[in-house]
Structure 1
Amino acid sequence: MRQREVRAAVDRLGAWVAGLRWADVPAGPRERLGLVLLDVLGVTALGAREPEQRRLVEAWTPGPGPAPLVGAGCTTMVEAAAWLNATALVRLELDEGHKRAKGHPAAHAFPAVLALAAERDASGPDTLAALLAAYEVGARFGRATRLRPGTHPHGNWGVTGAAAGCARLLGLDAGATAGAIDAGSGMPIAGHFASALDGNRVRDAWMGSANVSGLAAARMAAAGLARSTGTAAGSLGELLGELDPAELDADPGSRWEVEGGYVKRHASCSFTHAAVDAALELRGRLDGEVEEVLVETHSLAAGLDRRTWTGPLAAMFSVPFTVATALRRGRMDPAALSAEALADPATAALAARVTVRAAPDLDARLPAERPARVTVRSVAGTVTAEAPNPVGDADHHPFTTQTLPTLLADLLGGSEPVDAIQAVCAALPGLPAVGDALRGLAGLKEDRSCVSTP
């Protein structure tokens, strides 16, 4: 029974994606998609600068092709671009997400859709429709899926979004698009959350795999090799967790998931953000040496309580590190993840005095809120601050077309790359072919270029 329900929902989603036209999309989701795209491209360009990412590109030796490596100075083949851009996008934990989907719909799909759009020289409206379809399908699968405890959300339910967006770019009909989504739902990664806590960069690879798997699913459907059978009922609904079919095709075209996401201002797991925001609020009220910090939060974040870290990724998933960094430095930005900052003995000493625990009153506010309450005791007294959601959430001080460019310019060290991305985003709706504009994004770089095979 459940497999039939899933199949019927996927069939309806396939029909909606195949019929989606950018001209029919209301102004609200159009504007929000533009904001998400600006953020995705800016964060990808920032991630491309990281030494780890540069070494990955060099080890990959990507051959020449039509798709850009954003911010890396070259173009390459579609699958290589999809994988490498996806890993750059999540490299610094700054990628956009969706709290009700419990993960990152855009990061699962946008690198694949943009790489394929560049290869096909798709029109701007078709590219935007494909990006929107990818987000909407991926977010619905995220909402519908309840992963088993300990499962990381990278690389599983989000493959469906990449498959849907790529199917839309390939111009597949309703049945073939449903087949692509179904095939994507059958290619999930079963990654353990402990990998992120341990600082294991395989976590980034799960996102690269999701994008490439979505491309593969769409190509399978284009070849007539994929069909809708309700595969997600077994893969996501049994092996990896539970699946609610009613959420899969809930009100497409009237409830726009893209409007409910969050943009991140801290280079760390989103579960740490409310605590970091509260710590930053308290920073100006502290007087004297900090003796103890208590972070009360929801159960999703309570497990991020490690007081030691093996590298940048592990630090980004540590509430003690991120809160201690916020209190000491006043920012939780990429500079806080440098080798020098990670080895700072004062930060380590303060993190050792941070206690993290779940609070029932805060847990009860899930999923509408992801709150945190931070209490700092110093020699001068005790102060407390609470945040209902991270700054940047759609429900709490969201970033806008006016404020997001300022944030990205601060992260990227200037407005020039942000201006270039904004120009591409603004031009897309009117472009008959997007290839050259997208390939220009490879030039959002410092004085370097990636290795490519002759």
Structure 2
Amino acid sequence: MTAVEAQKSAQQATAQAGAWVSGLRWDDVPPRVRGRLGLVLLDTLGVCLAGAREEEQRRLVEAWRPAPGPAPLLGAGRTTTVEASAWLNAAALVRLELDEGNKYAKGHPAAHAFPAVLALAADLRASGPETMAALLAAYEVASRFGRATSLRAGAHPHGSWGVAGAAAGCARLLGLGADQAAAAVDTGAGLPVAGHFGSALDGNPVRDAWMAASNLSGLAAARMAQAGVARNTGTAAIALGELLGGFDPGAVADGLGERWDVELGYFKRHAACSFTHPAADVVLALRPEIPLDAVQEIVVETHALAAGLTSTTWDSRLGALFSTPFVVAAALVHGHVRPSASSGDALHDPRVAALAGRVVVREAADLTARLPAERAARVTVRGVSGAVTREVPNPVGDSAYHPMDAAALQDLLAELLGPATAAEVARCAAETATADDVSIPLRRLACTSTP
């Protein structure tokens, strides 16, 4: 296919996506899909509130000096402009590496778009059904652009293909027609961040800013389309494809309205990169059988996407959360990988550091061959009394492997936020889905205590 043909194909696929976004009606969405989207919204709000409690996020909000406005700044006790809400809430959402993800999209569709959609919904005083339709449009389009995009080696997925989803959700909320919605999505596809995965491995918080930029850029793309100054020219083929890697237009409209990608995601029980989760799950299951002082070596065999998370030293929380040795060692030492395992003195716990030094990470070709349906890990723990090997196909919380239902997700949020706050988040999420004016529950959640 020539470059001209590729761009034309992307233009046609984006037009199909725009038509689907414009025509999406909440009443037509199957009940099971509505239920799953409600769980993703619940998780997003709860995880964002947890991130807002962190000292780094508080300092960021203080430095930002957000102006008053109609949109919620979760956990900050205030509302602010749509733009500040979208940017700051997105940064809080990904700060603890707990946000929902999707292995087929190869990243995090909801985090790329939900903060922007919710901020705009609060400003427009949109209804719950309209807001939920916009969130669903955002997720499905973002996920498909993630499927369609094959990033170059070393590129991080935050802030690239997901901008198209943010644009789609905001376009749906603004009530744009098919052509305008397509123009918004195309413009979003032309606003990617080219972030290097090495920044995340180094613990550089610019990684969080990439996700914040996605939300802000998606909002801008929808407004450009609303103003009539955006066009659909198949930008994805050259911005996400030619520039950042490869782009398959056929994946953009594939199964829209039939296959719901929101049902295929995963919730995270560990505050760490999802690539580390299967190994953490294995060692937690083995922990009752493993005396820490008897561990000689832990070998983690994994797929190609996770094989680079090998660092046995870290100088920041984010760097630790992208280190399989840290996550495995923290799980064994603490019995969990909640945020407290990587904060304060725990980040430099000498027991964790010593054990991490005995963790070896390597790629296994047979596990790489099972992508994307499985993100497997095979862990061998060697000690003075012998070795034990266990393998898991996916992390706990994946929709295809020990999925979390509403009760499990509520328990997880209760661990993060405390039972009372988690219950309030659940109330606000439920009310947001049905409200005549979503700004009411969202503003209440903005003022929820963050001790």
Q: TM-score range by the shorter chain?
A: over 0.9
Structure 1 match to 2:325: 320
After TM superposition, list the pairs within 5 Å mapping 1:187-206 onto structure 2: 187-206=191-210
Q: Distance in 2 between matches of 1:446 and 1:254?
A: 40
Structure 1 match to 2:403: 398
Q: Could you tell me which of 318, 327, 334 is aligned with 2:339?
A: 334
Q: Give SS of 1:403's match.
A: helix
Structure 1 match to 2:419: 415
Structure 2 match to 1:58: 62
Q: Distance in 2 between matches of 1:123 and 1:384?
A: 52
Q: Could you tell me which of 235, 243, 249 is aligned with 1:245?
A: 249
Q: Could you tell me which of 356, 362, 368 is aligned with 1:357?
A: 362
Q: Distance in 1 between matches of 2:35 and 2:450?
A: 30
- Gap runs ≥5 in structure 1: 448-454
Structure 1 match to 2:91: 87
Q: Distance in 2 between matches of 1:429 and 1:52?
A: 31
Structure 1 match to 2:394: 389
Q: Give SS of 2:395's match.
A: coil
Q: CA deviation at 1:368?
A: 0.6
Q: Distance in 2 between matches of 1:393 and 1:198?
A: 27
Q: Which deviations, in whole Å up to 9, do the C-alpha atoms of 1:384-440 show, x marking residues without a partner?
A: 22111000001000111121101110111x221221122122223432211111111
Matched-pair contact (CA < 8 Å) for 1:136–1:161: yes
Q: CA deviation at 1:300?
A: 0.6
Q: Is residue 152 of structure 2 the alignment partner of residue 145 of structure 1?
A: no
Matched-pair contact (CA < 8 Å) for 2:38–2:433: no
Q: Distance in 2 between matches of 1:434 and 1:267?
A: 29
Q: Distance in 1 between matches of 2:358 and 2:311?
A: 11
Q: CA deviation at 1:444?
A: 2.1
Q: Distance in 2 between matches of 1:171 and 1:45?
A: 29
Q: Could you tell me which of 160, 179, 182 is aligned with 1:178?
A: 182
Matched-pair contact (CA < 8 Å) for 1:45–1:445: no
Q: Is residue 100 of structure 2 the alignment partner of residue 96 of structure 1?
A: yes
Q: Which deviations, in whole Å up to 9, do the C-alpha atoms of 1:160-206 show, x marking residues without a partner?
A: 01000000111110000000000000000000000000000000000
Q: Give SS of 1:402's match.
A: helix
Q: Distance in 1 between matches of 2:446 and 2:135?
A: 19
Q: Distance in 1 between matches of 2:364 and 2:286?
A: 20
After TM superposition, list the pairs within 5 Å mapping 1:109-148 onto structure 2: 109-148=113-152
Structure 2 match to 1:293: 298
Q: Give SS of 1:299's match.
A: coil
Q: Which amino acid aligns with 1:60?
A: W
Structure 2 match to 1:210: 214
Matched-pair contact (CA < 8 Å) for 1:49–1:445: no
Q: Which deviations, in whole Å up to 9, do the C-alpha atoms of 1:226-276 show, x marking residues without a partner?
A: 011100000001000100111000011110010000000000000000011
Structure 2 match to 1:451: none
Q: Which deviations, in whole Å up to 9, do the C-alpha atoms of 1:299-356 show, x marking residues without a partner?
A: 1101000110111000000001000111111111100111311111121111111100
Q: Is residue 16 of structure 2 the alignment partner of residue 12 of structure 1?
A: yes
Identity over aligned residues, as a percent? Answer: 63
Q: Distance in 2 between matches of 1:424 and 1:50?
A: 21
Q: CA deviation at 1:52?
A: 0.5
Q: Give SS of 2:103's match.
A: coil
Matched-pair contact (CA < 8 Å) for 1:266–1:333: yes
Q: Which amino acid aligns with 2:387?
A: T
Matched-pair contact (CA < 8 Å) for 1:283–1:327: yes
| Range that drifts further, 128-137 or 343-352 | 343-352
Q: Distance in 1 between matches of 2:114 and 2:434?
A: 19
After TM superposition, list the pairs within 5 Å mapping 1:16-95 onto structure 2: 16-95=20-99
Count of residue correspondences: 446
Q: Give SS of 2:282's match.
A: helix
Q: Distance in 1 between matches of 2:57 and 2:237?
A: 36
TM-score by length of 2: 0.98
Q: Give SS of 2:284's match.
A: helix
Q: CA RMSD in A?
A: 0.9
TM-score by length of 1: 0.97
Matched-pair contact (CA < 8 Å) for 1:282–1:384: no
Q: Distance in 1 between matches of 2:83 and 2:200?
A: 24
Q: Distance in 2 between matches of 1:382 and 1:284?
A: 15
Matched-pair contact (CA < 8 Å) for 1:312–1:342: yes
Q: Give SS of 2:176's match.
A: coil
Structure 2 match to 1:270: 274
Q: Give SS of 2:299's match.
A: strand
Q: Distance in 1 between matches of 2:95 and 2:435?
A: 30
| Range that drifts further, 312-321 or 277-286 | 277-286
Q: Distance in 1 between matches of 2:412 and 2:430?
A: 18
Q: Which amino acid aligns with 2:218?
A: G
Q: Which amino acid aligns with 1:165?
A: G
Q: Distance in 1 between matches of 2:450 and 2:189?
A: 38
